[in-house]
Amino acid sequence: DAGITQSPRHKVTETGTPVTLRCHQTENHRYMYWYRQDPGHGLRLIHYSYGVKDTDKGEVSDGYSVSRSKTEDFLLTLESATSSQTSVYFCAISEPGTVNTEAFFGQGTRLTVV
């Protein structure tokens, strides 16, 4: 498995509180992604990064922000958590320009907003 670590793996938080999820990689891949997985919706891209301090929005970015100050770390912040953000969050990494440009996924973070 690719060296991707997500933390925490599980979190319960209250509505209205800020939450930060961390993705750490040891593969030195340039691209990093945050997806959320919900039944009936597959995986939906929240934000992605194509380099340090270079990020862009995905299809479901409202209510989320990201930061990437180092190649190895990509943080996802829920500015004020809502129940609709209860989900499983997956981080992924990839490296462009090679034949192995598929995404490698972390183990996931199960977030519950109560």
Contact with another protein (CB under 8 A) among 26, 82, 107, 112: 107
- Nearest approach, Cβ of residue 93 and another protein (Å): 11
Q: 5 near 27, Cβ under 8 Å?
A: no
Q: Kindly tell me which of 16 and 52 has the beta carbon lying closer to another protein.
A: 52
Region 41-70 residues binding another protein, contact defined as CB under 8 A: 41-45, 48, 50, 58
Distance between CA atoms of residues 60 and 64, nearest Å: 8
- The footprint of another protein (CB under 8 A) covers 31, 33, 35, 40-45, 48, 50, 58, 90, 92, 94, 96, 99, 101-108
